[in-house]
């Protein structure tokens, strides 16, 4: 899970030590837009999963009833 806490970066005055490793990277902020789209996508997947379960329950009940009738008749 992503870390929700943010850390402020600060610069130390003066030149870095000769053996210091300098990190030079481009940073980009991930905004609320992606979080919103993630929630929408998760909602769509949830609706699809619930619909699949809802459509599969009646055939399973029919199969169980047929099996019960088959074994009850023996």
Position with higher pLDDT, 66 vs 35 = 66
Q: DSSP letter for 21, please.
A: P
Spatial separation of the C-alpha atoms in residues 35 and 53, rounded to whole Å: 27
Predicted confidence at residue 23, as pLDDT, reads 78
Q: Would you list the domain boundaries of the chain?
A: 32-74
CA-based nearest residue to 34, from 44, 42, 26: 42
Could you write out the DSSP letters of every residue in 24-69?
--------HHHHHHHHHHHHHHHHHHHHHHHHHHHHHHHHHHHHHH
Whether the model pTM is above 0.75 = no
């Amino acid at each position: 899970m992503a870390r929700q806490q943010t850390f402020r970066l600060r610069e130390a005055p003066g030149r870095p030590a000769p053996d210091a490793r300098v990190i030079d990277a481009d940073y980009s902020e991930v905004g609320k837009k992606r979080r919103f789209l993630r929630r929408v996508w998760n909602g769509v997947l949830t609706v699809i999963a619930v619909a699949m379960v809802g459509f599969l329950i009646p055939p399973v009940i029919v199969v169980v009833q047929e099996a019960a009738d088959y074994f009850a008749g023996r």
